[in-house]
């Protein structure tokens, strides 16, 4: 996906996330972690500061939660420590990209 497609998916997910909190029959429901469709699964990990990480994979793919936690660790190591990174902007950090590719 290009940057615009990624931003569209994130925007849709954020909206669904907010609506699901209000519609949930369970008190204290705070987030959607998995969306299962016929052709893909979309997993989400929300960090403490509210940043959401997604992975789109084949239906039934295992260990995506662990992968998302690794991605978050890479984010904290390479992106948040980058003095040129502006929060709430697309991530453009070469070291993060290299290590993310290696993790995947």
Confidence (pLDDT) at 71: 95
Compute the distance between CA of residue 57 and CA of residue 68 in angstroms, rounded to an integer: 12
Confidence (pLDDT) at 87: 82
What residue ranges of the chain have pLDDT lower than 50?
A: none
Confidence (pLDDT) at 64: 94
55 in Cβ contact with 64 (< 8 Å): yes
Confidence (pLDDT) at 102: 94
What is the CATH topology of the domain spanning 3-103?
Answer: Beta-Lactamase (3.30.450)
Q: Nearest to residue 91, comparing CAs of 53, 60, 39?
A: 53
Predicted TM-score of the model (pTM): 0.78
Reading across the β-sheet that carries 34-36, which strands appear in turn? 34-36, 41-46, 52-57
Domain ranges across the chain: 3-103
Confidence (pLDDT) at 95: 93
């Amino acid at each position: 996906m290009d940057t615009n497609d990624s931003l569209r998916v994130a925007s849709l997910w954020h909206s669904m996330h907010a609506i699901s909190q209000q519609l949930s029959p369970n008190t204290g429901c705070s987030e959607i972690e998995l969306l299962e469709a016929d052709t893909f699964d979309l997993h989400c990990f929300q960090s403490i500061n509210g940043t959401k990480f997604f992975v789109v994979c084949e239906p039934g793919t295992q260990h995506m939660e662990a992968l998302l936690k690794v991605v978050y660790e890479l984010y904290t190591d390479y992106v948040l420590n980058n003095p040129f990174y502006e929060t709430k902007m697309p991530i453009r950090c070469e070291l993060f990209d290299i290590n993310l590719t290696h993790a995947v």
